[in-house]
Structure 1
């Protein structure tokens, strides 16, 4: 750890006065670093894929940062030393959000989702949790969602005997369902993994996004994830939909986008998520 701290000190041009371990996520160890002028947040991971994961996180955060729509912790250093990969960013002093904070958050996320490009996907692949996430560009949203999101997770679940072959829809079954329910979709810049652990409200009320799995997709993907394990405050959704109104097939779209995250959880954490995945598959593809 001392080697990493010395390297960081050189990179930021300041001495590290102190550091301490803090809660920071399921995948990496987290630390708060204190210099004479400010606090930093440091993530450290010894997994072989960690450096690629941190570089992908940096790209996602920087892409969101450039939109000037919603705050992110600025990234200062990404590197690897002595078998440990690390990422250094701003430390955000957080508070418990109130209705006004959620309203501002909803408004700013809607503004982020107004950022667009020609195709669906991203400039590079990244990760969803610790699983690789392919972001090859597609002009068609239904095809992107099948080939880059649902199909790889179905294959992974089948390979690990978490799903039976008869439960897995084919391309020919899935695409017509997706096209009918999704309709015409415009690419939006997404956080990509927007659950309650991946945002912060700072003590001055500023919403921050953290740990993105960014790409350009349907804006409701972020909304679907936010609703999967509980939900954000109602003022968040009210403010969001004032800018991006609900679609005609809103509820069905939410369920189909939650399917991706349920499959991810099935593949990461096992059969406890089987019934939820199976329920969605039976509803839409049998």
Structure 2
């Protein structure tokens, strides 16, 4: 706790009075002026920088609320604290995600401005290097690096990589949250959804939406319906959900073991049937 208090005081310029652990190395800290902030400790400096620049980048269009960055250094990120509430305004989330994606990115694989090429998704390393096409990006930066570090049979995944150009419609690079599972959608006291813990990069917009569906999301049908009204999805997008879920599933196999192996292999086989 002492380290968190010292880091928050230094980075915000306001004395930190008390802290309590939320989980792991994440703390809620009360400042002397009565404000509350969240302090997150990372062992890797690039992880702090990647998350700080991701938050700035997805906040830039102003279409969805994102916690403000109060300060960061090599190991600590301090952000605005948002009081939790219950899910209500699903339509605003759907419309906001559509507008966020429409705001675009310079290329597939592009990092946020001033963000590191060697970034992180959770505790797993994640490369962000611009390339010309989404199939090249998804194969070389989102499937192959993780597959090599697992014991999964490579066949289904190699088959997917070989057919990416025909499986997914060609679209311009979207500005992605990048780790949009339901736990990173924080519903506030006014019922609005805030985006937290991003791993932002330029990618295919269906990847964000597929990740949102991976572990369930409150009011999901309303979210997707509102999204589709603003930025209609290409025909067959539902069948492509398993393809876009391969990336987060491979990350889960890497971080948490082969308990996710069967689901990941099934997703690869489903992707080939899309």
Same fold (TM over 0.5): yes
Do structure 1's residue 38 and structure 2's residue 28 form an aligned pair? Answer: no
Q: Is the CA contact (8 Å cut-off) linking 2:5 and 2:19 kept in structure 1?
A: no
Q: Distance in 1 between matches of 2:102 and 2:241?
A: 19
State the shift of 1:176 in Å. Answer: 4.7
Counterparts of 2:105 and 2:7, CA distance in 1: 37
Distance 1:20 1:140, change over 3 A: same
Deviates more, 1:57-66 or 1:244-253: 244-253
Against the structure 1 CA distance between its residues 43 and 33, is the aligned structure 2 distance closer, same or farther, given a 3 Å change threshold? farther
- Checking the alignment, whether the CA contact within 8 Å between 2:86 and 2:191 is kept in structure 1 is no
Deviations 1:143-177 (A, max 9, x none): 111111011111111xxxx21344541xxx44452
C-alpha displacement at 1:260, in angstroms?
A: 1.2
Alignment of 1:60-79 (within 5 A): 60-79=54-73
Among candidates 104, 111, 114, match of residue 92 of structure 2: 104
User: What is the CA–CA distance in structure 2 between the aligned matches of 1:156 and 1:232, rounded to whole Å?
Assistant: 33
Task: Please report how far the alpha carbon of residue 211 of structure 1 lies from its aligned counterpart in structure 2 after TM superposition.
Answer: 0.4
**Per-residue deviation, 1:106:** 1.0
Of the candidates 126, 133, 140, which is equivalent to residue 140 of structure 1? Answer: 133
Which residue of structure 1 aligns with residue 2 of structure 2? Answer: 2
Distance in structure 1 (CA, Å) of the matches to 2:218 and 2:191? 15
Bigger Rg, which one? 1
Q: Residue 20 of structure 1 contacts residue 33 of structure 1 at CA under 8 Å; is this kept in 2? A: no
The number of residue pairs the alignment matches comes to 267
SS at match of 2:83: coil
1:42 aligns to what SS in structure 2?
strand
Q: Secondary structure at the match of 1:107?
A: helix
Which deviates the most, 62-71 or 219-228?
62-71
**Deviation at 1:137?**
0.4
Is residue 86 of structure 1 aligned with residue 80 of structure 2? Answer: no
After superposition, residues 170-209 of structure 1 pair within 5 angstroms as: 173-209=159-195
The question of whether the paired residues in 1 share the 8 Å contact of 2:30 and 2:37 is answered with yes
Flag the 1:192–1:215 CA change in 2: closer, same or farther, 3 A. same
> Hey, what's the Cα distance between the residues in 1 that align with 2:4 and 2:27?
13
Gaps of 5+ in 1: none
